[in-house]
Chains A and B, each alone.
Chain A
Amino acid sequence: MAAAGNATDGDINDPEADYLPNDGFQQAQPLSNPVYLGGYVNVAGSGPDGRSKNSGDLDDFFVADLEGAETIRLALPGGSSANGAMIDLKLFAFDDTSAPVDSALNITTTACLKVGRAGRYYLQVHAAAGAAIYHLIIGKSGLTATGNRHSEKPDFVPGQVLVRLKSSPAMAKGRSLLGTLAAKTTEYSPGRFLLQFEGARQMDTALRSLAAENRLRIMDFSRQAVSKAATMELVRRLRLNPEIAWAEPNYIRRALLEPNDPYFALQWNLDLINLDRAWDQSTGNPDVVVAVIDSGIVSSHPDLADKIVAGYDFISSVANAGDGDGPDDDPEDTGQASPPFHGTHVAGIIGASFDNGIGISGAGGDTKIMPVRVLGKNGATDADLVRAILFAAGLNPISDGSGSTLPARPADIINLSLGGPSASRALQDALDQARAAGVIIISASGNDGSDAPSFPAAANGVVSVAGVDVMGRQGRYSNFGPSIDLAAPGGDLTTDLNRDGYADAIPSTLAVKTSNAITATYGFYEGTSMAAAHVSGVAALMKAVRPSLTPDQFDAYLAGGTLTCDAGSPGRDDIYGYGILDAARAVEAAGSDPPTVLLASPPVLIMEAGQSLATLFVRSIGSGDAAVDNVLSDKSWLEVIPDNIDADGCGSYLVSVDRSGLSGGIHTATIGFRTAAANDPLTIQAAVDVLPDPAANTGHLYLLVRNSSDTETVAEAELDPENGVYNFNFSSLAAGSYILMAGTDLDNDGTINEMGEAVGGYGSIFSPEPIEPDATTSNINFSVGFNRRPFNRLAFSATKERHPRR
């Protein structure tokens, strides 16, 4: 069966699939809401052979009714077809297609749009370059009592473009390029230009000069709209030119800020989380302090020297410390930890000097760093870590014989890019004390690629951060599970998907140790250590905007989906938590008063086929009265019963579902928790899968029957759905043990079950359940969908084979 809520692009590259073109507004393919759609676009000549290889499939248009709180996300799931691909996503009001109400251009990983008002909308997915399988997801993000704020892209001046040329002694090539565009050109800063076009004809000349195909002639725009759309097209073409560092429309009232740090161009990680837009709002505050509890910091590093406040070295074992002594006030990073100078690298991500013409840019802008050393060559002990946390929070006086010592200013944020497999009461107690003192605690989730909890990340009151790669996909090493709160760039040393000539890991400050000295340098590391540091840096920006920001308020912003771009399943999920960090949204959110809220875990309840019972945890955050005085469900088939709650109605609730009488598909219900303080009740959306879903369609499927012993394919069938069901029959199988798996081949490269394709298996695709069919075996059911977790795809990928259909 097709997974509920799944849909397929009507004109994919697979020639065996049904063909329903959706190439324009008039042919827009209707979508349900919510929906998880798999699609394919390509520029002519790009991608594998197939239906659209030669002619191209530049555009897919969709139409959907939206309620006004959805997040629309487009993701390129990766794989060979995504290399070099760039996609544009545009949102148009149904009754005004002259210009998009929102858009994201040149997407190479993932991007999301937010819908501000209810209505009918067109969505356009456009292939700007290359060929790619894409996922288009429409769904609601997590909720708070006050709902979500919508932030629309700022307007821009039609016919004006801001451009920066890439650094070179004379920028001669770039200047020559700009000279061919026939615009009025003003160099407002060295290497930075304002281009002004007087009208459509000049714009047209520029587009032709950049060898752009003028798509505008196909669509019906007014003169004004031609200029706006043409402006965006020109921006895109300029971005593709090797002489151009960046190009943007001239946004109205948008600050122009890009740091002059020379390695900024390599910091794809900052671009992924929209830090440049965050810096437009805030570049941090030197009064904000982030404690980096780690291996210390190389204090002489030129990109860190001005950012460090006094810290402490808590390593109690001289042998572990490697600096010749035990605890003291010298937290210098000696390079003893593994990997060397880890703390220095983490500190650089958080707070390397910003816009100083040296090295990289730290995410936290002007924030200060407190080095607290606990990691030596043999790691760190519980006792050292506990003391370090309390010190950083300003709670524990250090008695070193010369008097008590506290930091001059306690840290506002603690970054813990370290982990161990065991929880401890001492650690939890220290974390509780630090949190109670107002410190926001961020930790890395672990690199085991499993759901095994890592501490302190999995401890109560700690923000746990998973890692994503340059494409915004889950890092191959990143832990997952119920403790994950959000994801941020962790990188991948084994790839160079962005083709900048460097590994797709995280660049930051480092050092090299020789026999005589430690020399400052820069280098790449990968891991959730790096991911956590991004969140700490952005939290520092939030603290600069809102100095009174508390850990509870940070949690409220997070659960409200205002710090992230939703990824994975709609709402919170175990892979990305509440989504991928979005610094611009986070800093903007901090500018609004946080509400008194009830928070639910999970914030969106998804009950898959076969699941009839779930547990919902509710807690209150804020200073108001958030006692729950009423709990309601708006559907008779969903019931909420208190399980273990306190006097304020906070605690655990049991949610039960009665599917009898429900038709196939996704059924949603709203659970309301009413309190005295909140203006609106806390509402939890529950989405219940009831299969089969007659509207579900994952497209043309290839079903393989494989020996369970050696996974050799012994039979295959090609299937199309009828009312959401793919019927199959194999009547000539020899006796034996088999596994069943199915998938799509959207790009027609001959490989099914690769990244981005719909996938499913009997049992599950990750733990297939063998069957031993006989003549009477029937009713073997499993679901296939695009929204399946991307694990073990390499283990189960297969090529389409032409076996006898049975």
Chain B
Amino acid sequence: MPYMSFISQPFQRTALLATAIAAICLATASGCRAPGRKPAEILSLQMVYRSSCCRLCPEKPSAVWLSTIQQARSATGRPISLPASKTAGNPGFVLICMGRQPTGGYSILPATSTFYVQDGVAMLDLIWQKPGPNTYVTLALTCPCLLLALEKGSYNTIRVRDQNGMTRFVIRPAWSGRTPPVSGKEKPF
């Protein structure tokens, strides 16, 4: 399946792709690797900044690729400093905004400290948190965000998923030479 069609209709095709991969894995019984496909590349990520109120984020949930630390500082309005371990690697950054939420208790966290790349697509797993059903929360509006530094690798597409496996955003890093990254479509909580 051409990836362009995935990108144009990410949500309808995501389930099919996941199912296809699972089916291939089961069929080959040789791990999650179809015959002739490169093995998944495991890369590191690091949380650089996180806040419950990133005022420069838009009202709607969004995700954007940022190529430099300067862009990250501009996008967050914060004096971001990169952890020393990532400086030499010259990472890229992804800023994920949850959009405006009516109360406290919403947050985004990285699920792991690594992500894998398969066939040019980086899979980024997050924990997308909302308040518990019977919890009292603050009644101030929040706008949570998460800034991640990603090790560069052989990916030209980043798929951001939540803990339920649902794709929240699809992003194109700037080095792919394609059109600027697009905001994702929100999936309901």
Q: A: which residues have CB within 8 A of B?
A: 294-295, 337-340, 342, 345, 374-375, 378-382, 385, 417-422, 444-449, 454, 477, 493-494, 503, 525-530, 532
Contacts and interface: CB of A to CB of B under 8 A. Distances in A.
A381 B141 contact: no
Contacts of A421: 133-134
A526 B140 contact: yes
Given A338-B106, A339-B52, A379 B140 contact: no
B180 interface: no
**Size class of the B contact interface (CB-based, 8 Å):** 20 to 34
11 contacts: A295-B138, A337-B104, A375-B137, A379-B137, A419-B136, A447-B102, A447-B139, A525-B53, A525-B140, A525-B141, A527-B138
A504 to B, nearest CB: 13
Contacts of B141: 447, 477, 493, 525-527
Contacts of B133: 421
B120 interface: no
B138 A378 contact: no
Given A338-B105, A446-B102, A527 B136 contact: no
Given A338-B107, A379-B132, 14 more contacts: A339-B53, A339-B138, A342-B138, A375-B104, A378-B132, A379-B104, A379-B135, A380-B135, A380-B137, A419-B139, A446-B102, A526-B140, A527-B140, A532-B139
A494 B143 CA distance: 12
B105 A418 contact: no
A419 B137 contact: yes
A454 B131 CA distance: 14
Given A340-B52, A378-B132, A417 B105 contact: no
Contacts of B103: 419, 447, 527
Given A342-B140, A447-B141, A422 B134 contact: yes
Interface of B: 52-53, 55, 59, 102-107, 131-142, 144
A525 B140 CA distance: 7
A652 B4 CA distance: 65
Q: Which of B103, B104, B133, B140 has the most chain A CB atoms closer than 10 A to its own CB?
A: B140
A426 B145 CA distance: 36
B138 A382 contact: no
A479 to B, nearest CB: 9
Q: Which of B53, B105, B136, B139 has the most chain A CB atoms closer than 10 A to its own CB?
A: B139
Nearest to A456: B136
B104 A448 contact: no
Nearest to B58: A494
Closest 6 CB pairs of A and B: A338-B104, A447-B102, A379-B135, A527-B140, A444-B139, A380-B136
Given A338-B107, A340-B52, A379-B132, A418 B137 contact: yes
B140 A530 contact: yes
B51 to A, nearest CB: 8
B104 A381 contact: no
Contacts of B135: 378-381, 420
Contacts of B107: 338
Contacts of A340: 52-53
A731 B105 CA distance: 56
Contact of A339 (B59, B102, B104, B134): B104
Q: Which of B103, B104, B131, B136 has the most chain A CB atoms closer than 10 A to its own CB?
A: B136
Contacts of B52: 338-340
Q: Which of B55, B134, B135 has the most chain A CB atoms closer than 10 A to its own CB?
A: B135
Q: What is the predominant secondary structure among interface residues of chain B facing chain A? A: loop
Contacts of A448: 102
B138 A294 contact: yes
Contact of B136 (A338, A342, A379, A525): A379
A477 B102 contact: yes
Contacts of A503: 55
Nearest to B59: A494
B76 to A, nearest CB: 14
Contacts of A449: 102
Given A339-B52, A339-B53, A493-B55, A418 B106 contact: no
A420 B134 contact: yes
A378 B131 CA distance: 7
A446 B102 CA distance: 8
A594 B52 CA distance: 44
Contacts of B139: 417-419, 444-447, 454, 527-529, 532
Contacts of A420: 134-137
A527 B59 CA distance: 15
Contacts of B104: 337-339, 342, 375, 379
A529 B133 CA distance: 19
Nearest to A523: B53
Q: Which of B52, B104, B141 has the most chain A CB atoms closer than 10 A to its own CB?
A: B141
Contacts of B134: 382, 420-422
Contacts of A454: 139
Given A339-B52, A339-B53, A421-B133, A375 B138 contact: yes
A483 to B, nearest CB: 14
Contacts of A445: 139
A418 B138 CA distance: 4
A526 to B, nearest CB: 5
B99 to A, nearest CB: 12
Contacts of B136: 374-375, 379-382, 385, 418-420
Nearest to A475: B141
Nearest to B131: A379
Contacts of A382: 134, 136
Nearest to A528: B139
A24 to B, nearest CB: 46
A446 B101 CA distance: 12
B169 to A, nearest CB: 22
Contacts of A339: 52-53, 104, 138, 140, 142
A378 B104 CA distance: 9
Contacts of A342: 104, 138, 140
Contact of B138 (A338, A422, A477): A338
A446 B138 CA distance: 9
A644 to B, nearest CB: 32
A378 B140 contact: no
A445 B103 CA distance: 12
Contacts of B106: 338
Contacts of B105: 338, 378-379
A294 B104 CA distance: 12
A11 B184 CA distance: 49
Contacts of A419: 103, 136-137, 139
Contacts of B144: 338
B104 to A, nearest CB: 3
B144 to A, nearest CB: 8
A241 to B, nearest CB: 32
B137 A417 contact: no
Contacts of B102: 446-449, 477, 527
Contacts of A447: 102-103, 139-141
Contacts of A418: 136-139
A418 B103 CA distance: 9
A267 to B, nearest CB: 17
Contacts of A526: 140-141
